[in-house]
Amino acid sequence: AKLRELADQAAGQIMECDFDGFADHLTQTRDTICGRGPIQLLLRILSMQGGAKGVRAAFDTSGHMTGDWTNSVTYQSIVLVRRPDKLDKPQRAELLRIARQTAAAHLNGKRPAAVDADKLPAALRADGACFVTLKNHGRLRGCIGNMRATGPLYKAVIRNAVEACRDPRFVPNPVTVKELEQINVEISHLTPMERIANTDEIIVGRHGLLIVSGSRRGVLLPQVAYEYGWTRGEFLSQVCRKANLPLDAWKRSGVEIYSFEAE
């Protein structure tokens, strides 16, 4: 328990990109973290560049792996991601143009037109995660996205616009060229995910949620809870439903809950 508490304290400072807090942790606890020097350097650099948010990707101990707790060593993997700047109105309009152009080309059986990345604003060429949602007079017709940035934002929009047209939930009645004029395209540009320790931190209408339990995972965007008028508890239960979990699974230990924001 003490080992986990010590590891959580250190991880908390790192995930908040808190250089001073991490330095104080080392001084006060004498925690012998391998690589503490490089970690401090990274936190200092990131804090000077506007900070970042972290997510713990993995945690284990040698005691757990070998059964020998005499001299157990803790292993952690933390991903630090800088929060993207908000997009301005022209940038959002350009992404919507790219998404609609891509969807139209796909539905017409053509390859999406090439995008001249050199002419795009830097914010659209930066790595980014997004969802593309297709609605026909408010009725969902497709919604696909990626939770983590794997490349330039504009490329994520192109890929997700095509996949939204192929949303497997609508295979019997897919989006057609004829209804394209009635389709409203929405792009949700996501901030990096943050692990939720206390569900009271969730703000309905502001936060989207990802719930993970083993191989099962479910996600809902912030606007979904707002549109349905859900309470915090109802929102959590609906994300569990999306993950094919019991509605109260979010209350169980071992279930991971992440929040994110979207514009």
What does pLDDT average to in each consecutive run of 10 residues of the chain (263 residues)? 81 85 88 89 79 80 84 85 78 96 95 92 93 95 93 96 96 91 94 88 90 95 91 96 96 93 88
Give me the residue label for tokens 């924001």: 261
> Alpha-carbon distance 166 to 148, whole Å?
21
> Alpha-carbon distance 197 to 10, whole Å?
15
pLDDT at 85: 65
Q: Which of 122, 33, 141, 126 is nearest to 81 (CA)?
A: 126
Give me the residue label for tokens 């897919």: 174
> Alpha-carbon distance 22 to 36, whole Å?
9
pLDDT at 3: 77
- State the CB neighbour count (10 A cutoff) for residue 148: 14
Q: Provide the sign of the torsion angle of the four alpha carbons 237, 243, 249, 252, taken in this order.
A: negative
- The pair of structure tokens assigned to 190 is 């996501």
Structural domains of the chain sorted by starting position, each given as residue range(s) with its CATH number in brackets: 2-81 (no CATH), 89-190 (3.30.700.20), 194-260 (3.30.1490.150)
> Alpha-carbon distance 204 to 224, whole Å?
9
pLDDT at 161: 97
